[in-house]
């Protein structure tokens, strides 16, 4: 964008999480001195001559951004500068950004932010917010050495057509850019800043303003109750089945005295000689289990830290950094789990197993990420990751994660294979005709519904925070939902597994993985619905990016739930 640039200032350095999320911080040309009030100070003036091709392109880009309601995000002392405005029923809503400008349509309808001012009324015209009134609130530190701390920064975007850009007075008509305007257009950028003492906000609680403007908590409690009901229902079912059937069976076994009775087995006892038959594609299953364990532990630890408040929004990019570092360090459990399962499936090719564990799932994620990055490079976006960071991520993966996976696999293969309590028969048993709900596909599709029911309200807020730049701070809720999701996945799988074992179908390994893993498919469907109903994304590149990143999330979620 062609806004005022800061000359000769160094860019602040960012951590890994910010770079991965494309959060670039740029120095600003606005200069403040503490407690020095400025009124209508000029920053710079941009002149566009529509007869020149280059200028016309810049101006068109600016118009397009106003049409699509692009936002400025400013930071003062690591605090987002917020724009607070009144919404219906007397509530104030604080937005961590403010729009570049707004547009009045050809039939005189104000779009987005144009409703805030009745002076914006020219048809088919853009109004650019070229002046900001910034108010910085500070808190005087009482008992220490004299000093003050900034506790909030608020701004009001305004639009003025400065008649003398060199000597601006910040009054008069708004700065309008007609869609059909020709000739020379001058946009002068100005600002006013004032400081105000705020005795009520402590420095430690300066992030609380986010909570005021987001009245979502009651929905959260509702969704938690909803999820807990599902969990109780499932736990009840599982407990009933386990107690009733197993109790009955064990009682029957204890009463048996003669061997003749023992011949009349039924249900799941008929498959005891086939139940530990190694699954088809055991290699792939063990690799998925390894990667899934890695992701499960990573999610648990990240959310646990986030709950304790180490990864608050004040710590920009901390969440992503923490997740990536943990994921790299958790190569050992991945290798260990994959090796144990592969060995118990009777596999011999342990080298292939280790290599697949360390390269298959991370490789897919990295390839997807790399393609997305190529698209961002092609579009010249600031969210593109520099080559150095890509090399750093590859180094983390190859030099830390892979060796750790090998160590884990070494210990996994050294231990004895998991002992099975019953021998597997030589000849596989025939599986009888299955009823509709014990067939593999309907069972798997039904299995994903319950876990998805637990999380879909949280998903809405998470997708909002990723795509609509809203703060996400409800990690306590998220941790609760995470625990509930783990329980629901396990219980739904146990139930469906029990049903099809009773129907004498002993292929349980893949089915139990896919039953809860199918939740990821519902997640994908939800993401597609979200894309069409909530986001106004135009352009092929943006659409490919959205679905590219969604696929990464879906894969990670699939491994995690499975």
As beta bridge partners, residue 49 has 184
Local confidence band at 310 (pLDDT 50, 70, 90 cut-offs): confident
Taking residues 443-463, what's their average pLDDT? 87
Higher per-residue pLDDT: 207 or 508: 508
Query: What pLDDT does residue 517 have?
Result: 95
Q: Look-up: residue for tokens 């894969």?
A: 555
Looking at the predicted structure, is the pLDDT value of residue 218 above 70?
Answer: no
* Same domain? 57 vs 179: yes
Looking at the predicted structure, is the pLDDT value of residue 331 above 90?
Answer: yes
Is 295 domain-assigned?
A: no
Q: Buried b / exposed e across 93-121, counting CB within 10 Å, b at 16+?
A: ebbbebbbbbbbeeeeebeebbebeeebe
Q: What is the DSSP string of 446-493?
A: HHHHHHHHHHHHHHHHHHHHHHS------HHHHHHHHHHHHHHHHHHH
Local confidence band at 337 (pLDDT 50, 70, 90 cut-offs): very high
Query: What pLDDT does residue 261 have?
Result: 56
Higher per-residue pLDDT: 326 or 314: 326
Q: Look-up: residue for tokens 């506790």?
A: 151
Q: Which three-class secondary structure state does DSSP give residue 259? A: coil
* Same domain? 71 vs 220: no
Per-residue pLDDT reduced to its tens digit, 83-93 = 988 777 777 77
Asked whether 106 and 122 are in contact (CB, 8 A), the reply is no
Per-residue pLDDT reduced to its tens digit, 244-275 = 877 877 777 777 765 555 556 667 778 888 89
* Same domain? 191 vs 56: yes
Q: How many degrees, rounded to 5, is the angle at CA 490 between CA 500 and CA 294?
A: 125
Please tell me the least confidently modeled range out of 25-29, 243-247, 331-335, 498-502: 243-247
Per-residue pLDDT reduced to its tens digit, 348-380 = 899 999 999 999 999 999 999 999 999 999 988
Strand order from edge to edge, sheet including 38-49: 38-49, 184-197, 131-140, 148-158
* Same domain? 201 vs 272: no
Is 245 domain-assigned?
A: no
* Same domain? 159 vs 226: no
Domain interval for residue 118 = 31-213
Query: What pLDDT does residue 216 have?
Result: 59
Per-residue pLDDT reduced to its tens digit, 378-427 = 988 878 888 888 999 999 999 999 999 999 999 999 998 888 888 888 88
Using a pLDDT cut of 90, give the percent of the chain over it.
44
Is 222 domain-assigned?
A: yes
* Same domain? 150 vs 176: yes
Centre a 10 Å sphere on the Cβ of residue 324 and count the other Cβ atoms it contains. Answer: 18
Residue 428 DSSP symbol: P
Is 433 domain-assigned?
A: yes
Is 318 domain-assigned?
A: no
Q: What does residue 191 show for φ and ψ, rounded to 5 degrees?
A: -150, 155
* Same domain? 115 vs 38: yes
Q: Which of 552, 559, 561 is nearest to 21 (CA)?
A: 552
Tokens representing 88 are 């219906």
Q: Which three-class secondary structure state does DSSP give residue 364? A: helix
* Same domain? 200 vs 102: yes
As for how many domains the chain has, the answer is: 2
Global pTM reads: 0.87
Between β-strands 131-140 and 184-197, what pairing exists: parallel, antiparallel or unpaired?
Answer: parallel
Asked whether 487 and 231 are in contact (CB, 8 A), the reply is yes
Tokens representing 262 are 């023992």
The terminus-to-terminus CA distance of the chain in angstroms comes to 44
Q: Which three-class secondary structure state does DSSP give residue 178? A: strand
User: Using CA atoms in the order 516, 521, 526, 532, what is the torsion angle rounded to 10 degrees?
Assistant: 180
* Same domain? 221 vs 207: no
Query: What pLDDT does residue 264 have?
Result: 61
* Same domain? 270 vs 141: no
* Same domain? 464 vs 495: yes
Asked whether 411 and 52 are in contact (CB, 8 A), the reply is no
- How far, in Å, are 49, 126, 311, 338 from residue 101 at the CA level? 20, 7, 33, 54
Looking at the predicted structure, is the pLDDT value of residue 513 above 90?
Answer: yes
Is 87 domain-assigned?
A: yes
Q: Which of 498, 469, 134, 516 is nearest to 292 (CA)?
A: 516
Residue 81 DSSP symbol: P
Taking residues 434-453, what's their average pLDDT? 87
Instruction: Output Rg (C-alpha) for the chain, integer angstroms.
Output: 30
Looking at the predicted structure, is the pLDDT value of residue 172 above 80?
Answer: yes
Segment of 60-69, 166-175, 433-442 carrying the highest mean pLDDT: 60-69
Asked whether 235 and 488 are in contact (CB, 8 A), the reply is no
**How far does Cα 544 stand from its chain's mean position?**
17
Is 439 domain-assigned?
A: yes
Asked whether 412 and 338 are in contact (CB, 8 A), the reply is yes
Looking at the predicted structure, is the pLDDT value of residue 215 above 60?
Answer: no
Asked whether 69 and 468 are in contact (CB, 8 A), the reply is no
* Same domain? 454 vs 528: yes
Phi-psi region of 128 (alpha: psi -120 to 50; beta: other; left: phi over 0): beta
Is 191 domain-assigned?
A: yes
Looking at the predicted structure, is the pLDDT value of residue 312 above 90?
Answer: no
Q: What does residue 434 show for φ and ψ, rounded to 5 degrees?
A: -95, 150
Query: What pLDDT does residue 483 have?
Result: 92
Q: What is the mean pLDDT of the chain?
A: 87
Phi-psi region of 469 (alpha: psi -120 to 50; beta: other; left: phi over 0): left
Between β-strands 38-49 and 184-197, what pairing exists: parallel, antiparallel or unpaired?
Answer: antiparallel
């Amino acid at each position: 964008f062609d806004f005022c640039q800061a000359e000769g200032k160094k860019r602040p350095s960012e951590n890994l999480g910010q770079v991965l999320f494309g959060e670039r911080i740029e120095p600003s040309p606005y200069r403040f001195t503490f407690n020095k009030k400025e009124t209508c100070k000029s920053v710079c003036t941009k002149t566009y001559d529509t007869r020149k091709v280059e200028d016309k392109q810049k101006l068109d880009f600016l118009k397009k951004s106003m049409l699509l309601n692009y936002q400025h995000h400013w930071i003062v002392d690591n605090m987002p500068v917020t724009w607070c405005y009144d919404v219906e029923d007397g509530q104030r809503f604080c937005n961590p950004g403010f729009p570049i400008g707004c547009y009045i349509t050809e039939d005189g309808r104000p779009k987005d932010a144009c409703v805030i001012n009745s002076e914006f009324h020219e048809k088919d015209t853009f109004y650019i917010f070229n002046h900001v009134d910034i108010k910085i609130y500070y808190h005087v530190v009482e008992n220490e050495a004299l000093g003050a701390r900034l506790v909030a920064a608020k701004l009001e975007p305004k639009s003025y057509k400065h008649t003398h850009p060199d000597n601006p007075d910040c009054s008069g008509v708004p700065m309008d850019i007609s869609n059909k305007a020709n000739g020379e257009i001058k946009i002068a950028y100005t600002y006013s800043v004032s400081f105000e003492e705020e005795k009520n906000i402590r420095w430690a609680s300066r992030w609380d303003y986010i909570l005021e403007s987001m009245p979502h908590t009651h929905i959260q409690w509702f969704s938690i109750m909803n999820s807990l009901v599902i969990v109780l229902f499932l736990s009840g079912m599982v407990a009933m089945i386990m107690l009733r059937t197993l109790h009955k069976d064990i009682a029957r076994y204890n009463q048996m005295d003669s061997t003749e009775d023992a011949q009349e087995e039924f249900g799941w006892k008929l498959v005891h000689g086939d139940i530990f038959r190694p699954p088809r594609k055991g290699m792939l299953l063990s690799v998925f289990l390894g990667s899934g364990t890695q992701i499960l532990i990573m999610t648990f630890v990240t959310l646990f830290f986030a709950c304790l408040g180490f990864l608050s929004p004040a710590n920009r990019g901390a969440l992503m950094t923490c997740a990536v570092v943990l994921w790299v360090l958790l190569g050992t459990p991945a290798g260990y789990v994959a090796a144990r399962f592969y060995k118990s499936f009777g596999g011999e090719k342990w080298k292939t197993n280790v290599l697949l564990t360390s390269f298959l799932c991370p490789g897919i994620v990295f390839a997807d990420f790399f393609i997305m990055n190529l698209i961002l490079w092609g579009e010249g976006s600031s969210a593109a990751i520099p080559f150095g960071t890509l090399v750093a991520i590859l180094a983390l993966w190859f030099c830390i994660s892979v060796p750790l996976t090998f160590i884990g696999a070494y210990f996994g293969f050294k231990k004895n294979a998991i002992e099975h309590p019953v021998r597997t028969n030589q000849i596989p048993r025939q599986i009888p005709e299955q009823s509709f709900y014990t067939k593999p596909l309907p069972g798997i599709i039904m299995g994903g519904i319950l876990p998805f029911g637990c999380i879909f309200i949280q998903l809405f807020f998470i997708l909002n925070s990723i795509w609509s730049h809203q703060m996400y701070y409800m990690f306590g809720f998220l941790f609760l939902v995470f625990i509930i999701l783990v329980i629901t996945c396990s219980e739904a799988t146990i139930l469906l597994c029990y049903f099809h074992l009773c129907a004498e179908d002993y292929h349980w390994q893949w089915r139990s993985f896919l039953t809860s893993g199918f939740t990821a498919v519902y997640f994908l469907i939800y993401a597609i619905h979200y894309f069409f109903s909530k986001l106004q994304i135009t352009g092929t590149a943006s659409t490919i990016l959205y679905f590219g990143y969604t696929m990464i999330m879906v894969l990670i979620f699939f491994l995690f739930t499975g």
